[in-house]
Amino acid sequence: MTLYASVRHGLAVTGGRAVLGVVRWRDTFRRPRAHPHLAPPLRSGVRLKELIARHYLKGRTASSAVPVAWVTSGAPVEPLVALGYHVHYPENHGAICGIRRVAEDLCTAAESAGWSRDLCSYARTDLGVVLTGRTPVGRLPRPDLLVCCTNICQTVLGWYQVLAERFGVPMALVDTPFLYGTAPPHALTYVERQIEVLVEAAERAAGRTLDPGRLHAVTRRSKDACTLWREVVDRARHRPSPITAFDTFVHMAPIVEMRGEACTVDYYAALLEELDGRVARGEGALLEEQVRLAWDNLPIWPRMRWLSDRLAARGAALVASPYARAWGELADLIDPERPVASAARVYLHPILNLGIGQRLAALRALARDCQVDGVLLHSDRSCRPWSSGQADIRDRLVREDKIPALLLEADHSDPRAFSEAQASARIDAFLEGLGA
């Protein structure tokens, strides 16, 4: 870390924060464009836009100013935040690339360099960014450390090994045994030891020692934010629902890439207050809610607006998603008094590290709690861990629970795997069967 880089980073962050504050103030008083089927957007969205922009602005000048870690979305991030790292999530950045419609070009660049189109589109997007330097957020910081946790999939291991070779930086691996029930003691010990090794690697790369008091505070903020986020997604149980799953796909950004930070706790407290106001007034996210749906798997980022509009036009409220809820359902396992030991349990139990039977049970519970009339399952071409078993889950929902379910084929970021004509015909037929 250099003095010049630190001063430059501080000035950029301070100046950027001031500019973004002005933009937020302007957008707060800007009247949103009326939508024929949706309520006005949540006011908290203006604050969300500022938080995300501020995060990526910090990243532009973070290299050589503060330690930088690139991490998988399910990795134990609390020690890194406590050590002062700027944390970058390639998967979150991949989602932004998908929303901004640049993922296809970046995937194509990776494929031209030899990577298979069958590889996860987040990985292809990220490799395309590394190869070309192109990104919709301006510039990404060079990592000092890579942190890879296999609790979401095994693809991340090969992906981060490529990044480690490309950047010539160390990679810390947290390998999580797959679970078909409660984690056995030996699995908890195994993961806890790996988190301890991760802390040692992070200390070496940062050139500083982890302060237990700071780790306690960061872990407390993670727990508070996760608890608030769970309350946010649970507000969809109300009729009409004050929030859609499409909203949660966007508003989940801070709980993923700013977990452990005070701004995330403050943000979700404000968002929850706004949703409670809608509930008290009997206002729904849709102007007319006729049927309620749940969504399984990642969003289709490039076509999310299209899908939202199409469902809303038929009075179909997409109210629930195990994907969005996953970031809050483990809140009770977080223990600030035992940050490393509890992290081993927390990061062993994400939904993608559980058996299909447990995933089915979670989807059934969500469908029951949110009183859904049907389920849309996104068979994601390049997310096999989540998509495997979905046909069986659909069949069990239909046969045993009498819940209509539709399997849609697409990809979370690569638009080439999506057929609008096919999706339109199947969704319209499905909704007609539900009476919408």
**C-alpha dihedral sign at 387, 392, 395, 399:** negative
Answer yes or no: is 399 within a domain.
yes
Answer yes or no: is 184 within a domain.
yes
DSSP 141: P
CATH of the domain at 145: 3.40.50.11900
Q: Is 65 helix (H, G, I), strand (E, B) or coil?
A: coil
Answer yes or no: is 6 within a domain.
no
Answer yes or no: is 270 within a domain.
yes
Compute CA distances 417 → 245, 363, 387, whole Å.
Answer: 22, 25, 14
Identify the pLDDT of residue 435.
85
Answer yes or no: is 61 within a domain.
no
Domain of residue 110, residue span? 67-434
The neighbouring-strand residues paired with 292 are 317
User: What is the rounded distance in angstroms from the CA atom of residue 374 to the CA atom of residue 294?
Assistant: 7
Q: Which residues lie below 8 Å from residue 128, measured CB to CB, with a gap of 6+?
A: 105, 106, 107, 108, 109, 110, 134
The answer on pLDDT for 218 being more than 90 is yes
- In this prediction, residue 36 has a pLDDT band, given cuts at 50, 70 and 90, of confident
pLDDT in tens, 382-421: 898 899 899 999 999 999 999 999 999 999 999 999 999 9
Answer yes or no: is 144 within a domain.
yes
Pick from 48, 57, 46: which is nearest to 17 by CA? 57
- Other CB atoms within 10 Å distance of the CB of residue 106: 27
Answer yes or no: is 54 within a domain.
no
Summarize the confidence of residues 190-212 as an average pLDDT.
Answer: 98
Q: How many domains does the chain have?
A: 1
Answer yes or no: is 421 within a domain.
yes
**Backbone φ, ψ for residue 377 (5° rounding):** -110, 120
The neighbouring-strand residues paired with 374 are 293
